[in-house]
Amino acid sequence: MQRFIITVAAAGLLATGVNAQSAQNGSHNPVVKDGSPKTIAAPAKGANSFTENQARGRFAKAGYSSLSKLTKANGLWQGTAMKGGKQLSVMLDYKGNITAH
C-alpha cells in the first residue's frame, strides 16, 4: 500500500512538471528574439544598441538592397532602400524589427 502511494505521488509530480514546462514553451517574451528580422507597422521606442553595420546586415537579411546612408535618431536607424522594385523609407528599432513605408 505504501509503495502504491509513493508511485501515485511521483506520477503526480511528473505530470505537474510537464504542465509547467509546456506553459513556458507557449509564453511570449518580446525581449527574446530568434534573430530573424521582422517587418512591423510601427517601430518600438527605446535605446538602440545596433551598430550601423549590424543595422545594414538586418536590412540585407530582410531582403532590402541599395541601402542609403543610415542615420540614427530617437533610437531608430533610418534610411531608404529598395525592395520588390520600390524605393522605401526603412527604420530599424531596438528590438531588430523593420518598418518600411
pLDDT tens by residue, 38-58: 777 788 888 888 999 999 999
Q: Where residue 18 falls among pLDDT bands split at 50, 70, 90?
A: very low
**Extents of the domains making up the chain:** 2-29+39-100
Please say whether the beta carbons of 15 and 72 come within 8 A. Answer: no
pLDDT value of residue 51: 95
Q: Which residue is listed with cell 551598430?
A: 51
Q: What is the pLDDT of residues 65-75, one digit of tens each?
A: 999 989 999 89
Q: What is the mean pLDDT of residues 78-89?
A: 96
Q: Is the pLDDT of residue 12 over 70?
A: no
From residue 33, give the alpha-carbon distance in Å to each of 37, 38, 94. Answer: 9, 10, 11
